[in-house]
Structure 1
Amino acid sequence: MRKRLSHLCLSTLGLTGVSLAHAENIYMFSLVTGIAPRYEGSRDYRPVVAPVIAAQFDNGFFLSPMEGAGYKKEFANGLFVSTALDYDFGRSDSNRADLPGSNYLKGMGRIPGSLMLSVQAGAHVFGTSTISMTLDQPLTHTGRGLSGHVAMTVPVLQTPTNQVDITGSIHAGTGRYAQTFFGVTDAQAANSNFRPYSVKGGIDSAKVSVGWTATVFSPRWSVHTEAGASRLIGNSGDSPIVQKKVNYFAISALTYRY
């Protein structure tokens, strides 16, 4: 859930999109600022300010605040696979600077954080476009259920110093995942202002964003700006904890790479 909220577009700052054909170690240091909803379905927003450090090594291993620590293998035919360990911080039922959550959820309790195993497979298609499927399995607090998403990124402008991409994705989860993040149990209803609500698994949201990366100062410096919207779908969007089915986000990062 953390990846889909305050850091909805930080994944573009990761290194999983860097080609391993260069056979070199790559390090990135970024200062990120932006705005994102307090939780998925919230009508309130909060600022996002964070330093980001990421690295990818010529042997395929990578370290990223969004993808976690893992390994990626690219094949000559354009296919790629990766696996990584990451941590999802869950959700709070109060306004906090360090966690998704809102005072509006008071009485719902804390969704605990989980160590996550992410497995991804994808391909470069139509030149530099990319399509991928990612599954996220919790290794701790496994009761939150399995989730995943399918995404496609299409470059619409490429010059020596500028690139503009459009990314679309669809997210889905099991029944346990949907109930954890969008359902209301009898106990939660008794402690909050929400009525009991059961949610079935399936597709729960769709997202689209536009990102612009520009080289500044020198080839080592770049600015990435991204903005987009996500919409809750089906039973998840009808949950009593959802104030707005459509959320917006925007983020910008100054990055030094060497």
Structure 2
Amino acid sequence: MRTIFALALAGVVPAAWAQTPASNPMPDGSSDMYVGLGAVSAPRYQGSGEHRVTALPLVQVQWSNGIFISGMSAGLHLSSNPVLEYGPMVAVLARRSSGGSHDTLGGPFGSLDLSGTQNKPATPAGGTPSRPSVAPPPLEEKAAPTWQRSGNRLAGTETIGARLQAGVFVNYYLTPSLRLTNNLLAGSGRDRHGASWTVGVQHVTRALAPHNSVSLAADLTMVNRSYNESYFGVSLRDTMYSGNMPYAPGGGVRDVAVSARWNLALSPGWMVSSAVRAARLQGDARRSPLVERANNITVSTGLAYRF
């Protein structure tokens, strides 16, 4: 029986970062379910220099008919070949507000105080006060753009709603413990025309020590222009309210990443799952004025019970 536990990052990171659960042959009508609670320290958004810690659910369910739910994604295993896995999948990409991904604390765009950006000198351009008998008031310093005042480059940018993406996965086992993974998803971004393709390699070690297993992975994600324009671009509208320079990125490699996961079985029913992922933005995504840090690290841990 092959089982790869996936921690549900519940919208903090893109769903494609989670590994698709391996096909798990089981008796007809049966299921394999993990449910628990974890915590994750992740960048506020892709390219953010600020991390936040969030409590999140851990969910993975597989049924004997091939249907699975893994965090914020779900799919269907169609292959009966033990070395090839493929099928359709859907995944939720979380809402990104001006405060970050899945942000519930950042105020909506309409609540931002932008009046300071319209301040003008009290003296006409010619240098003569409009009322000579009254000393002109001191010149007010023009307010800094919102992101400079708040330390958040997303401040003032347009919110991108949560998106339901649809696509396919194709995985191939080179050995029983080494598999190539592919996830292709479409439907993200402001206009829902964004698409991403994540290709990677994963190694699963089963007998590192009694009750312990470690999996290692490396992946590369490519995106189209619409994706990059939505999540890394700066429109004229965003420039007006955020202070960032206009930026229109093209498609290409978004990031490369390596990750490791450690599972500790406390009993037949209880498991502790911990993971770390280090990613580096590439190409037009890395050059975006919204990016504060090209290197991002996500750390998570959680306790789950197997039903």
CA distance in 1, matches of 2:187, 2:176: 34
Q: Which amino acid in structure 2 is aligned with residue 253 of structure 1?
A: G
CA distance in 2, matches of 1:199, 1:46: 27
CA contact (8 A) 1:164 1:211 kept: yes
Aligned to 1:46: 52
Q: 1:110 and 2:159 equivalent?
A: yes
CA distance in 1, matches of 2:20, 2:186: 21
Equivalent residue for 1:196, pick from 228, 242, 246: 246
CA distance in 2, matches of 1:63, 1:35: 23
1:48 positional shift:
2.0
CA distance in 2, matches of 1:211, 1:152: 14
Q: Which amino acid in structure 1 is aligned with residue 220 of structure 2?
A: I
Q: 1:169 and 2:174 equivalent?
A: no
SS at match of 2:240: helix
CA contact (8 A) 1:35 1:48 kept: yes
CA contact (8 A) 1:210 1:227 kept: yes
CA distance in 2, matches of 1:96, 1:120: 25
CA distance in 2, matches of 1:50, 1:4: 6
1:161 positional shift:
1.4
CA distance in 2, matches of 1:100, 1:73: 41
Tell me the alpha carbon deviations over residues 22-61 of structure 1, each in whole angstroms, 9 at most, x when there is no partner: 6531111111112000001000011121223332111111
TM-score for both structures, normalised by structure 2: 0.74
Matches within 5 A, 1:30-45: 30-45=36-51
When residues 143 and 51 of structure 1 are mapped into structure 2, their CA distance, relative to the original with a 3 A threshold, is closer
When residues 219 and 9 of structure 1 are mapped into structure 2, their CA distance, relative to the original with a 3 A threshold, is farther
Tell me the alpha carbon deviations over residues 229-249 of structure 1, each in whole angstroms, 9 at most, x when there is no partner: 110001110110000000011
CA distance in 2, matches of 1:155, 1:103: 38
Percent same amino acid among aligned pairs?
Answer: 24
Equivalent residue for 1:84, pick from 80, 84, 89: 89
Question: Which consecutive residues of structure 2, in runs of 5 or more, have no partner in the other structure?
Answer: 1-7, 107-150
Tell me the alpha carbon deviations over residues 96-125 of structure 1, each in whole angstroms, 9 at most, x when there is no partner: 764698943111110122221131011122
Tell me the alpha carbon deviations over residues 161-183 of structure 1, each in whole angstroms, 9 at most, x when there is no partner: 11111111101111111111111
When residues 119 and 202 of structure 1 are mapped into structure 2, their CA distance, relative to the original with a 3 A threshold, is same
Tell me the alpha carbon deviations over residues 71-115 of structure 1, each in whole angstroms, 9 at most, x when there is no partner: 112433410112123322231112576469894311111012222
CA contact (8 A) 1:16 1:72 kept: no
Q: Which amino acid in structure 1 is aligned with residue 182 of structure 2?
A: M
Structure with the larger strand share: 1
CA contact (8 A) 2:12 2:102 kept: no
Larger radius of gyration: 2
Aligned length: 254
CA contact (8 A) 1:157 1:163 kept: yes
CA contact (8 A) 1:208 1:230 kept: yes
CA distance in 2, matches of 1:9, 1:119: 13
